[in-house]
Chains A and B, each alone.
Chain A
């Protein structure tokens, strides 16, 4: 591993740590009475690996499990916590809460919590880019899960993107769980990429917990879209290490399966990789983890001090 590769992985590791600290704090705040959140603990490498392959000109759509995407794109944890707590300093002034956070200044343009909703909107964002609205050469990336792949809109979106040759990167974070149901109860095993290929879209399926594999696949997919303007499809095989939301105790999860995926925690894998390459000793690790937790503590303090929205603003911004 070159020094530059080590530095890239170290920077990505810091982002993973920040996301993990943020997600764990969101769970803790929920335990204390804050709203439920849908955590992406276990899926962080997907967000960071893909978003690091995008450029500032590109546009992103995400879903209810969005904290990792937001932080990977440079969102301030202060404003994420403020949003989740419904405060004025949140990205959406507290109107969104945790479920539909958009941050247009970061290029995270639309977020839908209706599973598959993000897939319905993404072709239009890419169509506007194709028709010259947006930065030249820009593409759109849409994050969704295996649950959304079971919605009819998944097929409608893939067909239209292929038919109209839209610059759209489909990113399926296959976390094996569709709310409270394992995906093998709802779909044939290798369905997702086969479905995409059936629409004539080039696919890659990689280990979503291996950030180097994710990043490499995303870079080649993004380069292909910029080169020929056609959509690409990434399946990132990962695992939702926590329950669907809030304090869900995962009593329905097979213990052996959970143990297996915990041993493949993306943070653990990257830490091992960096340690083996001599890029991360125990002291540095402890320092990075401390930094992440400190940052999150500050963010929570900021959010808790942020004012509530004025009730008089209740019906503002419904209409343009």
Chain B
């Protein structure tokens, strides 16, 4: 294991996979400029700077993926993805199905998003759910350096088009990362960084550490919270979430993206359709607002769920601690 930042872990994943498979190439605005070690090792044919033109970067990656290459494209900021939507959503996501399975599109699209850099709504937009709604795509958004490396490696090896979102706020966070080039993190499997009995906190990306902080504070109050890090938004590890709800009976979903038609809404639906009998309290969402990200630090941070909000949400379910089930008069019931 080596301690490194998420950014270093991602670059290491690219190194290892490009060494492992000569079909892998990296393209993007500054792909070669920003990763000079990759450019030196693999040369200009496999590490390509491109024009600032997301639609043709993505389209070229889709055409190349259908023709024997395994491109990774770096589109920098998630809002730039809207320029690339036709290639990713209409071509990569649909043409395998529409051709009756004639082709595959093994390609990975990297994009950064999330608060922390005060860059405003045209560089910071957690639009991952848009891609979850598009058939044919996989969507990943890890929270740790280790998962960033392992999932990027898995994504490069996958036969499907993968949207790989990098949380800007976590880019320079350090963590222990495996040195074994053979280690990958399987797509579609959630992690459980903290086990608990009373409530399930489900999250991904930067709000995972928020949930872990909330869980630590809740422990002080005698409430045992389980934290699930989805890592993969599509495919979604519904088994992990349902198993946890079956044990805790309470579900709170936390993410930075808007709550409207988002991952939290999907998980709330999952809970009431597949685990209704296990629920002892209403499902609660703690999410970002239906508003563009503001640049001002104060406003940017106000849009991101904080640990105290998560603690309050848990306590609002009537959990007062020291038990696995019975609760005082829950706030939601008093309101009803």
- Which A residues lie at the B interface, using CB under 8 A? 59, 61, 90-96, 100, 102, 104, 109-112, 114, 116-117, 119-129, 131, 133-134, 152-153, 156-157, 159-160, 163-164, 316-320
Contacts and interface: CB of A to CB of B under 8 A. Distances in A.
B63 A159 contact: no
Nearest to B105: A320
Given A109-B103, A318-B136, A117 B51 contact: no
B160 A319 contact: yes
A133 B59 contact: no
B68 A128 contact: yes
Interface in B94-111: 95-106
B135 interface: yes
A113 B217 CA distance: 54
Contact of A92 (B90, B102, B105): B102
Contact of B56 (A59, A95, A110, A160): A160
B90 A122 contact: no
A131 B59 contact: no
B279 interface: no
26 contacts: A92-B102, A93-B100, A93-B101, A100-B99, A109-B66, A110-B66, A110-B103, A114-B86, A117-B86, A119-B59, A120-B55, A121-B59, A123-B63, A124-B59, A124-B71, A131-B25, A131-B45, A133-B67, A156-B55, A159-B51, A159-B56, A316-B101, A317-B100, A318-B96, A318-B97, A320-B158
B68 A133 contact: yes
A95 B231 CA distance: 32
B96 A124 contact: no
Interface in B49-68: 50-51, 53, 55-56, 58-68
Contact of B136 (A102, A133, A160, A319): A319
Contacts of B237: none
A272 B83 CA distance: 49
Nearest to A320: B159
Given A100-B95, A152-B55, A160-B56, A124 B64 contact: yes
Given A96-B98, A120-B56, A127-B63, A160 B160 contact: no
Interface residues of B, number: 44
B320 interface: no
Interface in B277-304: none
A127 B60 CA distance: 8
Contacts of B87: 117, 120-121
Contacts of A92: 98-100, 102
Given A92-B102, A102-B102, A156-B51, A117 B90 contact: yes
B91 interface: yes
B318 to A, nearest CB: 41
A94 B100 CA distance: 7
Contacts, number: 151
Contact of A133 (B45, B55, B69, B106): B69
Contact of B68 (A134, A163, A320): A134
Q: Which 4 A-B pairs have the closest CB atoms?
A: A124-B63, A120-B59, A133-B68, A128-B67
Given A133-B67, A160-B50, A102 B56 contact: no
Contact of B69 (A61, A91, A128): A128
A163 B91 contact: no
B136 A153 contact: no
Contacts of B55: 120, 152-153, 156
A124 B66 contact: yes
Q: Is the interface of A mostly helix, strand, loop or mixed?
A: mixed
Given A112-B95, A133-B68, A134-B67, A318 B135 contact: yes
Contact of A110 (B48, B63, B69, B135): B63
Nearest to B50: A160
A96 B138 CA distance: 22
> Which of A61, A121, A131, A156 has the most chain B CB atoms inside 10 A of its CB?
A121
Contact of B67 (A95, A114, A129): A129
Given A112-B90, A124-B61, A318-B135, A156 B53 contact: yes
Contact of B63 (A96, A128, A318): A128
Nearest to A154: B56
A152 B59 CA distance: 13
B219 to A, nearest CB: 40
B96 A100 contact: no
B67 A124 contact: yes
Given A94-B100, A318-B135, 7 more contacts: A110-B63, A110-B91, A117-B90, A121-B63, A127-B60, A133-B67, A320-B106
B64 A95 contact: no
A316 B98 CA distance: 11
Nearest to A120: B59
Contacts of A121: 59-60, 62-63, 66, 87, 91
A238 to B, nearest CB: 26
Contact of B51 (A104, A152, A160, A318): A160
A111 B96 CA distance: 11
A275 B39 CA distance: 61
A316 B100 CA distance: 9
A160 B59 CA distance: 11
B104 to A, nearest CB: 4
B59 A102 contact: no
B137 to A, nearest CB: 9
Contacts of B50: 160
Contacts of A123: 56, 59-60, 63
Contacts of B136: 318-319
A110 B61 CA distance: 13
Nearest to A59: B67
Contacts of A163: 51
